[in-house]
Structure 1
Amino acid sequence: MNKYIDFIDLTNKYIFFIVISILVFILSYINNTFFYEYVKIRNYQEIRVLATNLHIDIKKCKSNDIICLNKIWDEINILQPYANIRLFDNDNNLILKYTKVKKRHKNRELISIPKYLNKIENTNLNLSITKETTPSILKATFRGITFSFYEIFIKTNNIGMTKTFIWYINEKIYMRSQNVIVFFILTFLVIYLLRKRQVQLKNKYIAQNLKIINLSKNIEQQETELSELMKMLNSKDIDFLNSIDKYKNLMSPPFDALKYEELLDLDPETIIYKSRKVLEKILAQIYEQEFNTEFHPNLAKMIEELRKKKILSQKTYNYAITIKAFGNIAAHPDYENLCEFTKNDGRVISNALILFIDEIKLRK
């Protein structure tokens, strides 16, 4: 939950729209990949059928009759297929050619008819047919999600707005962005629902932390184990400076004995946050050792898993969740419910940290 809130905070409007944009881009890229793969197969079938029909017609022309061949080419010019057609003799001399390609397709990948369709049987002629088929998927995706703005801008500068609009409609440029609009709407709805759920979880999470903090400030007077712990921490007088030196390998950094008292007076929040860092550092070492791994989860999960494995006693568990609760609020304040930390709060959490380390060392 910790990391979820820290790194994918959908309540932040910038992160909210960045996540939507990334997901729309990924979905559009996948869609374009499959779509243009289908286009490539369809175009390949078209030029193969065209080549087969030309084979049949050209073989009817006796002795490579140029008049007969020109008639075939006249029919091609009437049909106007999108393709590059070349007819060569055996010496590779060009006899006839035909080209029709959309200007915006010129840089696309070329496909050719299979080799067995190059040679026209019973003639001294060879046929070549190619067609521009698939663009760069990355560029196509970018054009789609930007609604071809760059091309529209260039066209408008060159030929004016009216002609650009006609080009946009006639060439069906808008088709590029249809799927983007659908993906945006679906993604927006899904992320919006996730954000609502995250707000609920975040509020619950903050409330849990604040409840522990309120116990230390005597706002809630409940006879619970935690409230008793808070009373004890408030009354404890621990030599923290001596403890920094005693547990130097664990506490320094982030603690500096020379600056502790000054920091406690001026910025108790930093003392609380540093206590949380030390707690996480200690628990990470224990977790990696106990679970034989080089990696560890977030602090909340480590505390719960180590408790389940009975590495943490009830007492050390209470110290840990207290430090975590204060540390989380210090590191990630809720600006709607600001909690102002005092020097006493810094000392309470310092006490909790030292007692936690003492207990851990004692159990070892």
Structure 2
Amino acid sequence: MVMSLAIGSTFLLSVLAGVLTDRLGIRITTFAGGALATSGMFISSFFYNQVEVLMVTYGLMFGIGSSLAYTPSLVVLGHYFQRRMGLINGFVTAGSSIFTIAMPFILPHLLDHGLQITFQVLTGFCAFLMVAALVFKPLMPHLPPPKRELEEARSGCAGRCRGFWRGIINFEIWRNKRYVIWALAIPSALFGYFVPYVHLVKYVRDVLGKDANSQMLVVCIGATSGLGRIIFGLIADRPWVNRILLQQVSFFCIGGLTMLLTAANHMVFFIIISLGMGFFDGCFISLLGPIAFDLVGHSGASQAIGCLLAMCSIPLTCGPAIAGALYDNMHSYLVPFLCAGLPPIIGAFVLFSIRLVKTPPKGVPGSPVREVGGEKQNNATATSTDDKHGPEETQSEV
């Protein structure tokens, strides 16, 4: 329950993280998130045997802090890396895969010293978020309020109220039909996405026996997920590659492999399927940020990513719970895994509808979010940024 609350709050409050990123800035939001997550983890070390307290310290404080740190970490990449955004996102998100591989080996040794020591060591990991936040220097200037907002602010109480909310929430991204389709299709596809990750270990033990080394499959998923994030990030940077199409392929393969789990009856088959699921999971994860920038531009990316992650919190939390309820009633994972494979496949086909929506010219409702000073100024800004930060970016990209 505590872990579910932490994961749910991390995703659900990403919309708040997006708003704060626009209002307070990337560095302040990330630092505040790191401080909150570190505090929650440290306090948890003193109340590790009290679930009620852990619901607040770990479930909420750590979860909210992680949310405030995660969303800006994706947004800041678009400020520095435009030509290699896919590859850089792959490298950055591959960090979680490294710890997915390492933690099953590290945690048993930490737990031998007790939960309190384990929480305190994890506190040290969280504290690094505050150090990382200090180097998050945004390069894109804040947008001035559009004329409509200024006029509404002078038109009485109702106008001031509308102007207030328009100043906080970026409504322009929801006029972008391509983003709306993408933002609705992704959460719909994720209803079955998390099911194998939560239930795979138990399922393998049900099929092969309690002595099966099912934890190895988690390592397999983490290893190929990190590899997939880098490989697909590199592919996504090719000018002729459709990033959304890559994400569709990943969803279709994840759904198909989830269904194939029901036919596996040997550890070799489970390993092959796990390697494939991790590889295409890496594709999906590494392209979230780049696609958001493609659809709404730099000025709308923070809230576009935040809103998407917030909507993803519902299927990611409910999907495994529904699969668990089905297993409790049927005492079999056949139906849960077959049902879990359907949403990603359906979501992959729904994303084809984006091709039916033409990108309107800039400045009309439904177009990509406005950029500062028009296209010429953006190009000049990008050119000056490349000149100023070219050596660093070149080294990073290499």
- Calculate the TM-score normalised by the size of structure 2: 0.21
| Structure having the larger proportion of residues in helix | 2
> Bigger radius of gyration, 1 or 2?
1
TM-score by length of 1: 0.22
More strand by percentage: 1
Q: Whose RCO is larger (CA < 8 A, sep 6+)?
A: 2
